[in-house]
Amino acid sequence: MTDDIELDKTLVDIAQRARAAGRKLAKASSGRKNEALQLMANSLRAETGMLLEGNQKDLERARKAGLSSAMIDRLTLTKGRIEAMAVGLEEIIKLPDPVGEVMKMWKRPNGLRIGKARVPIGVIGFIYESRPNVTVDAAGLCVKSGNAIILRGGSEAIESNSTIANVIAASLGRSGLPQDCVQLIRSTDRAAVGLMLTLDRYIDLIIPRGGKSLVKLVVDNSTIPVIMHYEGICHTYVDEFADLGMAETICMNAKVQRPGVCNAMETLLVHSRVAEEFLPGLWDSMTGAGVEIRGCDKTRKILPKAAAATEDDWRTEYLDLILSVKVVESIDEAIEHITEYGSAHSDAIVTENYGRAQKFLEEVDSSAVFVNASTRFNDGFEFGLGAEIGISTNRLHCRGPMGLEELTTTKYIVYGSGQIRQ
């Protein structure tokens, strides 16, 4: 109990300081913010030794705890990875500052001039797992967009994140911005997340980035608005009018180029009129790349070696070299399947038919809908938005890649000359 009260006090203190720092940061010039980002990048390079030392402690604990080699790899910092973090900050410097942009302005009949201006959201609580580079990306994006950030990383990376947070805070201090703009919760007590989610007086937005259970926990318990980065059950539909060579290239890219990410394809839908021509070649390419195929009955008539897909398969984000395949009789059946089983993340059609392409774009309601391109393109860099803090699966505020603009909100600014309301 005493611990909880202590933790509560610590978190409220962090949140209050974030609120105060955020108000100062919101007024900072682009020049000042960019200077802070450059100092952060320089310090990461200069303190490489210290960062590797801190990381070493996490790695030792991870090995003792028997973490998988994949997890240990994600946790590992190297000189090269630290340099990449610094370069990432320098990329953010180059992006235009969204704060202060007046998106539109108009004049009313009574002479009022009304403008819609971008302002920072305020204080952002960021809850994430493992990779320490995410700490730097998130801090950099928030500083540039004028938001204070409270970081709550995974306990397995606590030493790495602490060292990084120290370096960032020192750089902020040297730049003349408040150190409290970027704060890390150093307690690894699980209760800290629950407490954080109730601090709606001081925190304006919670972004959880991690596994489904973490995201669900946050959504169910937060009194603060949440922008989720939930699952991606992404589809490619190969239409009867597809260029089948293009379809195979796109499917291979969507499945195997990086299977562990949210915009990778999980389910392939194929029109029955081209299934017999398309699937055998795809089988060779996919199995050649180590992909396991689980098909519907019609698929297995064409690919008898394929495993049988169950109802669960259509609802599963494998994040792995597994692909479920369904043969459909029409584009409507394909769209119905996507609507029923998909997660409205990234879905693609391959077709040379104009009407089919337009219908798919119109009727599939996902954060990004593609014609003749890989679902893997649903990404802030690929869309040309610059860096991203994640890909929103929310319908509110922003959908898809969340970059600097999406880290702002708006206010109306109104220039009058004595107008009153009648």
Q: Which is nearer to a copy of itself, 175 or 253 (CB)?
A: 253
Report d(CA 72, CA 60) in Å as an integer. 10
Q: Which is nearer to a copy of itself, 65 or 102 (CB)?
A: 102
- Cα 109 to Cα 418, 421, 422: the distances in Å are 14, 13, 13
Report d(CA 268, CA 313) in Å as an integer. 12
Beta strand 113-120 with 102-107 is: antiparallel
Q: Which is nearer to a copy of itself, 132 or 380 (CB)?
A: 380
Q: Give 132-173 as a DSSP string.
A: THHHHHHHHHHHHTT-EEEEE--GGGHHHHHHHHHHHHHHHH
CB of 168 to a copy of itself, least distance (A): 24
Phi-psi label, residue 221: left if phi above 0, alpha if psi -120 to 50, beta otherwise? alpha
CB of 365 to a copy of itself, least distance (A): 6
Residues in the chain: 422
CB of 42 to a copy of itself, least distance (A): 30
| C-beta of residue 241 within 8 angstroms of C-beta of residue 350 | no
CB of 201 to a copy of itself, least distance (A): 12
CB of 132 to a copy of itself, least distance (A): 25
Q: Which is nearer to a copy of itself, 2 or 422 (CB)?
A: 422
For the CA atoms of 272, 258, 401, 374, the dihedral, rounded to the nearest 10 degrees, stands at: -30
Report d(CA 214, CA 229) in Å as an integer. 10
Chain residues binding a copy of itself by CB under 8 A are: 23, 26-27, 106, 108, 112, 114, 119, 121-122, 200, 204-205, 219-220, 223, 225-227, 243, 246, 249-250, 252-254, 257, 339, 357, 361-363, 365-374, 376-378, 382-384, 394-400, 409-421
Going by the DSSP 8-state scheme, the letter that residue 60 receives in this structure is H
Q: Which is nearer to a copy of itself, 191 or 414 (CB)?
A: 414
CB of 332 to a copy of itself, least distance (A): 12
Q: Which is nearer to a copy of itself, 353 or 394 (CB)?
A: 394
